[in-house]
């Protein structure tokens, strides 16, 4: 995530499915898996929001 708009979009995508972003830095984020969320669900939400992910 390269700017504040990117951070907000990614945060919104993760929070929309019940996740939580702990920290962000350029091109990466630390995401807390909770409420039974899986890594794949988070990846899908971020890709749906238009981001490429590394798995």
- Compute the distance between CA of residue 14 and CA of residue 24 in angstroms, rounded to an integer: 13
On the 0-12 / 13-18 / 19+ scale of CB atoms within 10 A, 52 is exposed
Residue 11's CB: how many other CB atoms inside 10 A? 18
Taking only the tens place, the pLDDT of each residue in 14-49 is 999 999 989 887 778 899 888 789 999 999 999 999
Tokens standing for residue 40 = 């794949």
Higher-confidence residue of 46 and 7: namely 46
Predicted TM-score of the model (pTM): 0.80
């Amino acid at each position: 995530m390269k700017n504040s708009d990117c951070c907000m979009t990614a945060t919104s995508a993760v929070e929309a499915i019940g996740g939580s972003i702990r920290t962000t830095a350029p091109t990466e984020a630390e995401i807390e898996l909770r409420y039974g969320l899986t890594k794949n669900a988070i990846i899908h939400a971020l890709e749906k929001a238009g981001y490429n992910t590394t798995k």
